[in-house]
Amino acid sequence: MNSDPTASQAQAAERLQQLQTQYQEILTQGLSLDLTRGKPSTAQLDLSDALDGILQGDFRAADGTDCRNYGGGLGLPEARKLAANYLECKPEQTLVGGNSSLQLMYQCVLYNHLFGDQEGAAWSREAGGGKVKFLCPSPGYDRHFSVCEALGIEMIPVALNAEGPDMDQVEKLVQADPLIKGIWCVPKYSNPSGIVYSEATVQRLARLGSLAGANFRIIWDNAYAVHHLVENPPELANLLSLSEQVGTLDNVYAIGSTSKITFAGAGIAFLASSETNIRNLARHLSYVTIGPDKVNQLRHVRFLQDNATIAAHMEKQREILKPKFDLVLQHLDLAFTGKCVGGDPIGTWTRPAGGYFILFDTQPGLAREVVRLTGAAGVKLTPAGATWPYGEDPQDTNIRLAPSFPQLEEIAAAMKIFTLCVELATLKRSLEKS
């Protein structure tokens, strides 16, 4: 039976009973499946095993630096060149750190919040006891929101549409409130919706500093820049170049990493901004480190080499990832295409061209219940609401699916349970209302 608005009450009740029986049978199986975080699979990590031993005892950088020693706060020159090619900027505008891009983002926000680029420029001082605020395009990345929570920065959700953040809303907010000091952005294959910011949106973001003031920062987390799922991926406009053209490069921190390119826990992270910002941030970082892991930077330079080598490597990643995303979409298509309850679709979902996530939307008010049901049945999902500031999805609809880590058979098992739980929760509530 199709659970659509034409179904009779009796048919709906019969279908609900079938779903409840199936669900009870699943509970007895003791399953343990995980679709929570976008982790690379073992097969993806295996593609970078050549990193181990690639130096063959040669620890000298191109300028003669012994990478085993202290120093090099900005990163190896060849690592900065690799980062610049990746981020489409000049090597002098880059800083290469350790393995974590999240750590670099945290350091950027912390530095501006507590210290600032010059006397009196610290966000916290400017606030004068008030709350520093950040714009958070939502649904978004939960770890960005955690940075704000950790530092006591108030988060303001802004709408995220198919073009990117609602720039009318963004521009209005920053002009009305000088305590709004930044915006989080995942511009390509956004986490979790998978959208790519349009050129018009990026152009407006480049001009945002002129509206918001010198102390405003765009945290441009381009985590999925090369993580394509399609053969002809969409292009993303270059915020760094556009900002430089209009004189707002000081307002931008663009971040990338190899965390999902090579080894997730042992990659390199890098950042680009104006040369002034890079010098200031490097000085701040010198208080907490005598230099990054330059041996690992050298390994990555010799392994990844250039953008063409990275593209070839990522094509191998795509061959591993695409079947997993296709399988999730097949299950969603089969279970829900054209099916309604109460006159509305049971669910809607994204079809990303890249990245690590598929965003599924239940009918309003059901995401938490679906996550609860799937969790009890042995399928772990990211908590409902995690894609919103403070964990509060106002419509309780968003569920993030992350199929990268499990094997295909595990994804198939998990999606059967997920689709069952979505229909079960939707039909149960509909009958309770009728």
For 371-401, the DSSP string reads HHHHHHTTEEEPPTTTTSGGG--TTS-EEEE
Residue ranges in the chain modelled with pLDDT below 70: 1-7, 118-120
Yes or no: is domain 9-44+312-433 CATH 3.20.20.410?
no
Give the CA distances from residue 36 to residues 384, 399, 402, in Å, rounded to whole numbers and listed in that order.
11, 10, 6
User: Structure tokens of 359?
Assistant: 């965003």
CA-wise closest residue to 401 among 342, 365, 348, 363: 348
Q: How far apart are CA 111 and CA 121, in angstroms?
A: 11
Contact call for residues 232 and 194 (beta carbons, < 8 A):
no
pLDDT at residue 7 in the model? 47
User: CATH 3.90.1150.10 occupies which residues in the chain?
Assistant: 9-44+312-433
Task: Sort 319 into a burial class: Cβ within 10 Å, 0-12 / 13-18 / 19+.
Answer: exposed
Q: Which two tokens stand for residue 73?
A: 């706060």
User: pTM (2 decimals)?
Assistant: 0.95
| CATH 3.40.640.10 location in the chain | 61-305
Distance CA 379, CA 418 (A): 8
Q: What is the pLDDT of residue 434?
A: 79
Three-class SS of residue 246?
helix
pLDDT of residue 1: 43
CA dist 314 and 335 (Å) reads 31
Q: Name the CATH code of domain 61-305 (choices 3.40.190.10, 3.40.50.2300, 3.40.390.30, 3.40.640.10).
A: 3.40.640.10
CA separation (Å) from 101 to 159, 224, 259?
A: 25, 12, 8
pLDDT of residue 5: 47
Q: Which pLDDT score is estimated for 31?
A: 92
Positive or negative, the CA dihedral 272, 278, 281, 282 is positive
